[in-house]
A and B are shown apart, each in its own frame.
Chain A
Amino acid sequence: MDKFSVLTAIAAPLNIDNIDTDKIIPARFLKTIKRTGLGKSAFADMRYNADGSEKPDFVLNQAPYRQAEILVAGDNFGCGSSREHAPWALKDFGLRCVIAPSFADIFFNNCFKNGILPIALPEEICARLREDAAMGSNAKLTVDLARQVVVRPNGEEIAFSVDPFRKHCLLNGLDDIGLTLEHATAIDAYEANIPSWQPKIQGA
């Protein structure tokens, strides 16, 4: 997994609540057996007309925001489906950090597995960050994971919280399957105690 330490980048404002994972990546694009290549389909129905041309009023189609690496979104971002294609699409587009008042659980979790940092901050702070973001390339935000702060263009620092284990994994780009396998003895011991009445799925 890619490491995440300090990111200074253009932020795109997207002030819509309940951006669901069908909006981030519609189901028709899930028919892939790869993790890559979904960036062109990110936000497809918000971003393109039926004929495939771009909708000029959608923020990620506008000049500075094509290079955005941070998204400042609305409440309950990533609700709906568990599809990890949503963070894959964001990452493939170039986004590494999403800031919103709240996130849906599964999406939030999936971000960390893909080197994307989701940051929950109160709505009034998100509103200020969206104002910064509206200034485009004149006002980059800095996200410093080690210090757990977002730095506004005026230098103001906004603290955010992050789960210590997830922070550790993200800072070091760690694959958590490897970490879990360090508990193999405990897993063996647990399995030895599964009651005998619990059926095994076998045969077809």
Chain B
Amino acid sequence: MPRTLFDKIWDAHVVDRMEDGTCVLYIDRHLVHEVTSPQAFEGLRMAGRKLRRVENTIAVVDHNVPTSPDRLTEVNEPESALQIATLEQNVKEFGVTYFPMSDLRQGIVHVVGPEQGISLPGMTIVCGDSHTSTHGALGALAFGIGTSEVEHVLATQTLLQKPARNMLIRVDGALPQGCTGKDIMLAIIGKIGTAGGTGYVMEFAGEAIRALDMAGRLTMCNMSIEAGARAGLIAPDETTFDYIKGRPFAPQGADFDKAVAYWKTLPSDEGAQYDKIVELRAEEIIPQVTWGTSPETVIPVTGLVPNPADETDEAKRTQMQRMLSYMGLEAGQKIEGTKVDVVFIGSCTNSRIEDLRAAAAVAKGRHVAPGVRVLVVPGSGLVKQQAEAEGLAQIFTDAGFEWREAGCSMCLGMNPDKLTPGQRCASTSNRNFEGRQGPGGRTHLLSPAMAAAAAVTGKITDVRELI
């Protein structure tokens, strides 16, 4: 029977199957960070259990590290410092490979995994973080888990799971200039909603996906969780193999050739069945921006903020009104021209070198608008180094943007980079939830190029006018 990419990875990892269909699923890669692991290591210790496969496990600090240039010497918030110290103690005790803040390879776990060649096609990859879906861009089955499951993987190298359903999202046609993987993904979430993917693994296919570089694909799979999907997937192809070749933890030499031979068997078979198919035309996509406090509240930058009066469902109407009031927007207003206070370019969604190049292309020769603060936070120490070598950092600092150290930064308000109440932020991150970037903060999600356009004009701007 023809199988999908998801079916193939799933089948290859079933260790045991119980009567009711629950499977013991083998996990190839377990990525660990400081926020969701302390209780898991503690549980292991209390039960006297060992870490089953240290060679499948890697740890890095990202969520609550400061991103200021002097962060190695400055005093962190005490609770953050304790979480970092706890991780360092745990990796030492259990012998886990670890990238500390002082290591050039440190960065956001979902940037580090692919960058180091730790995340590979055909693998099962988990992490105590919902954006683990990112790694699906390599053709790996990757998903976020809670802390109890982190402990479960540490102890058994497996998870108890039932298979998800298969969804295909096909995006054909050519993406217009000024649009990116971020815009495709926001358009998809706008179309199917934040619960549209619940229970599914979402495979992205079609000409527009094949044409994306790895950074664009990683952005799309990263946000598949915002559509509620268990995971996002893109079939591995030459773009994937070229990306992986030579990375430090990837197979080398003859092993790489063997790996590629296997990876080429992974794409979905002709005639494979999907439980749901969604289709979009790439050429119809316009740069996207969110107006509300859910990623599904997204419109083209040329669009108008919707009017709750047009909503027939009373509960939904009330929620829209609440969103408008929280966001400080008027029903029916143009989203373009909305003034911003802060611009954040970073996060596991958009902090790779390609993202920084796109932002720098807009920032070059321009200057930050008066009164606007702009943070550019590379996804890893290696991305930072490369951006400096390519002259991107200079473009940003010349434009009056802050050039910072690697970490999750202003994506989630767990470190010193936060919005203050009422501040409006154009952000390349993934969630515009109330208070996500700091209590009372107002988030507009958009692409790195759109963020740079907002930075230099001080308002939400159609980047196509600047390129």
Interface residue ranges, A against B (CB under 8 Å): 15-18, 20, 22-23, 26-28, 30-35, 45, 50, 74-76, 79-84, 87, 102-106, 109-110, 113-114, 163-165, 176-177, 179-181, 183, 186-187, 190-191, 195-204
Contact = CB atoms under 8 A, between A and B. Distances in A.
Interface string B100-112: 0001000000000
A105 B228 contact: yes
A76 B195 CA distance: 6
Nearest to A108: B198
B199 interface: yes
9 contacts: A16-B319, A22-B434, A26-B413, A30-B63, A31-B414, A75-B195, A104-B198, A106-B143, A176-B160
B156 A180 contact: yes
Nearest to B127: A82
Contacts of A200: 55-56
Interface in B209-230: 225, 228, 230
B26 interface: yes
A186 B83 contact: no
A197 B258 contact: yes
A189 B433 CA distance: 45
A33 B38 contact: yes
Contact of B152 (A105, A177, A203): A177
Contact of B26 (A83, A109, A190): A190
Nearest to B249: A199
Given A15-B315, A20-B433, A33-B83, A105 B413 contact: no
B16 interface: yes
Contacts of A27: 412-414, 436
B251 A177 contact: no
A35 B39 contact: yes
Contacts of A75: 195
B413 A204 contact: no
Given A80-B433, A201-B118, A102 B35 contact: no
Given A31-B35, A35-B39, A80-B225, 9 more contacts: A22-B433, A23-B434, A27-B413, A28-B413, A84-B147, A106-B144, A177-B49, A181-B155, A191-B157
A12 B168 CA distance: 38
A73 to B, nearest CB: 12
Nearest to A167: B20
Nearest 3 CB-CB pairings of A with B: A84-B146, A113-B148, A200-B55
A18 B97 contact: no
B15 A183 contact: yes
Contact of A109 (B64, B149, B151, B414): B149
A16 B322 CA distance: 11
Contacts of B36: 82-84
A23 B158 CA distance: 30
Interface stretch (B74-82, B299-307, B340-348, B360-368): B74-82
A200 B380 CA distance: 22
B461 interface: no
Given A17-B316, A18-B294, A198-B28, A79 B228 contact: yes
A33 B86 contact: yes
A195 B18 contact: no
Interface centre among A80, A82, A187, A203 (most CB of B within 10 A): A82
Task: Give the contact-size bracket for chain B.
Answer: 35 or more
A37 B435 CA distance: 21
B251 A199 contact: yes
Contacts of A199: 117, 249-251, 255
Contacts of B434: 22-23, 45
A180 B435 contact: no
A102 B129 CA distance: 21
A196 B80 CA distance: 39
A181 to B, nearest CB: 6
Interface in B397-429: 412-414, 421
A13 B460 CA distance: 38
B285 interface: no
Nearest to A103: B198
A11 B134 CA distance: 37
A32 B79 contact: yes
Contacts of B160: 165, 176, 179-180
Contacts of B82: 31, 33
A31 B80 contact: yes
Given A16-B319, A180-B158, A200-B55, A113 B146 contact: yes
Nearest to A46: B434
B333 to A, nearest CB: 23
Contact of B230 (A102, A105, A163): A105
Interface centre among A15, A109, A180, A201 (most CB of B within 10 A): A201
Contact of B157 (A82, A187, A204): A187
Contacts of A110: 146, 148-149
Interface in B233-266: 249-251, 255-256, 258-259, 262
B263 to A, nearest CB: 11
Contacts of B148: 84, 110, 113-114
Contacts of A179: 160
A141 to B, nearest CB: 21
Contacts of A190: 15, 26
B29 to A, nearest CB: 8
Interface string B55-74: 11110000110000000000
B130 A201 contact: no
A113 B150 CA distance: 12
Nearest to B116: A201
